[in-house]
Every structure is written in C-alpha cells, then in structure tokens.
Amino acid sequence: MKQFEKYLTENDERRKFSVPAEWLRILPEFGEGQEVVVRAIDGKGFYWEFYCVIRRRGRYKKPVFQSLGWLKFVNQKGLKVGDKIVLCEEEDLFRGTKYRIRAQKCFEEGLWVDV
C-alpha cells in the first residue's frame, strides 16, 4: 500500500489543495482530460469526492484538488495550517472507492489523531 502525507499550507486551508507531484503515482489516470474525480473514504468512514485538475502545458503538471469538494472537507474537519493530510490507495469495492484520505491534527508532541 502506497501512502503519501502533506502538511497543510495557508493556500490549502483557504482555497484549494496543492497536490504534491509524487501523489500522481497513485491518483487515477487523467487520460485526455485535465480533471479526474478522486473518490475517497476518510479516517472516520465518510465518503468524499474531490476534483483533481492538472495543467497540460509545461514540465510540472501542478495538480490541485479544486475548492468545490476540498473546502467542504476542510470546514467539516476544522483543518488549519500545519494539520496533516494522508492519502493512500485502499480499495473498497462495496463503496466503490479506491482511496482513503485522513485528516490529522497533532494533539501531543508526535501524536497525530484522525479527525
């Protein structure tokens, strides 16, 4: 199972989630389009849809989760700068998802807890 982590920035908290380029290794193929839907279950078992878009020009594709689904997730979880997002491949055939996205807050030194 591949797993990736990112600490939230101000832009991630307020606008859209800048997806690290290495995450493209586990995200769905973009094919001919510039957008894919990422369906995920969070650490509490709730279903989320994120719209991931990339640039077609230039060397760096600069993937982002658009604000539509992303900001609902941020607000529901009460996320702030410095909180952590963990994305991993974890297929759930019953729910029709392929990903688990976990939002985590640090409550004690080094103790990250799903919210």
Residue 34 has what pLDDT?
Answer: 85
Helix (H) or strand (E) run with residue 13 in it: helix 10-14
Tell me the mean pLDDT in the region 57-79. 88
Is 70 exceeded by the pLDDT of residue 95?
no
Percent of the chain scored above 90 by pLDDT? 57
Query: Domain 3-114 in CATH: superfamily?
Result: DNA-binding pseudobarrel domain (2.40.330.10)
Q: Give the whole-angstrom CA distance, residue 40 versus residue 70.
A: 12
Identity of the amino acid at 39: R
Average pLDDT over residues 4-20: 95
57 pLDDT band, cuts 50/70/90, is low
* Rounded distance between C-alpha atoms, residue 62 and residue 94, angstroms: 32
Tell me what percent of the chain is helix, strand and coil, each rounded to the nearest 5: 20, 45, 40
User: How confident is the model at residue 82, as a pLDDT?
Assistant: 96
In this prediction the pTM is 0.87
Stretch (H or E) spanning 76:
helix 67-77
Residue range 50-59: average pLDDT? 80
